Structure 1
Amino acid sequence: MSGEHEWVDEEAGPVVRPYAVARGRTRPTSSNALDLLATVAGTGLPVPAKAELSAQHRRLLSVVAGQSRPVAEVASDLSLPVGVVRVLLGDLLDHGLVTVRPPRDKAATPTESLLREVINGLRAL
């Protein structure tokens, strides 16, 4: 497959099936949990010489460069299925090009009653 995409027309997009983008893989090689709400950020490290990154890998890196974004949002921005994005992220994790943080634990978030107390306290000022 060449580096160029074969285009049907502007609206159709590239003629490449998702399983081809992920090289036929359905699961990431990395053992890290790539939950939909996990946040992904680029590390800013240079791409290792041994890394065989596709155009989709490089697009993914550009989407997460300089910012943390949820996996689901990255998939949406790339117009790729989440399963494919997870596989690509696993590859990038293996090369140390991205970091993944699991979603925040629900117990660590403030309760609604605490937030209401804060709002009421601010209003009282």
Structure 2
Amino acid sequence: MSPDLGADPVGRAPAVRPFLVTAGRVAGGGTGPPAPLETQVVTTVAGVEALATLTFERRDIVAVCRQPQSLAEIAAKLRLHLNVVRVLAEDLRAGGHLSVHVPNTDTAQDVAVLRRVIDGLRTIPDSRGALRDTD
């Protein structure tokens, strides 16, 4: 008996190779390092207005970014390679369809900020409603 191909809960992987989606371009492409994966992206008014004219991955990225998303979240939600998202997000930013906010790298390495994040995570209740262990 052959396996049921329709039973895959994740769905099929895209058949188009990443280099075809980006026309062979890579993130950073000689203009500096690629955007960090925590870079926040949000759709602009122009992006919402152009949504019907955008195609494929570009349309999906603009649609999912109606609420601010990180590049990593976009890649995960749309099941796209992170570097494809980086390249297309830059194209969409250049076209005025997205607003891109790169985090301050000094803040990301600030020990006080990291400590506050850890403390905040510890205050989140686990699935039983109890606070997480602070050790």
- When the two structures are superposed, what TM-score results if normalisation uses the length of structure 2? 0.61
Aligned twin of 1:17: 17
Distance in 2, Cα, partners of 1:21 & 1:62: 18
Q: Which runs of 5+ in 1 are unaligned?
A: 1-8, 117-125
Do the aligned partners of 1:18 and 1:84 also contact (CA within 8 Å) in 2? yes
Whole-Å Cα distance in 1 between the matches of residues 111 and 99 of structure 2? 21
Q: Give aligned-pair identity as a percent.
A: 28
Question: Unpaired runs of 5+ in structure 2?
Answer: 120-135
Cα deviation code 1:17-75 (max 9, x no counterpart) = 1111112211357x696210111100121339xxx84311001111101x111110111
Describe how 1:1-125 pairs up with structure 2 within 5 A: 11-27=11-27, 34-45=35-46, 46-47=49-50, 53-65=54-66, 67-104=67-104, 105-106=107-108, 107=110, 110=113, 112=115
Deviation at 1:103, TM superposition (A): 2.2
1: CA distance between counterparts of 2:13 and 2:114? 44
Equivalent residue pairs, number: 102
Question: Could you tell me which amino acid in structure 1 is paired with residue 74 of structure 2?
Answer: V
- The DSSP-based 3-state class of the residue aligned with 1:80 is coil
Q: Which has the higher helix share?
A: 2
Distance 2:61 2:23 in 1: 16
RMSD after superposition:
3.1
- Match of 2:41, SS? strand
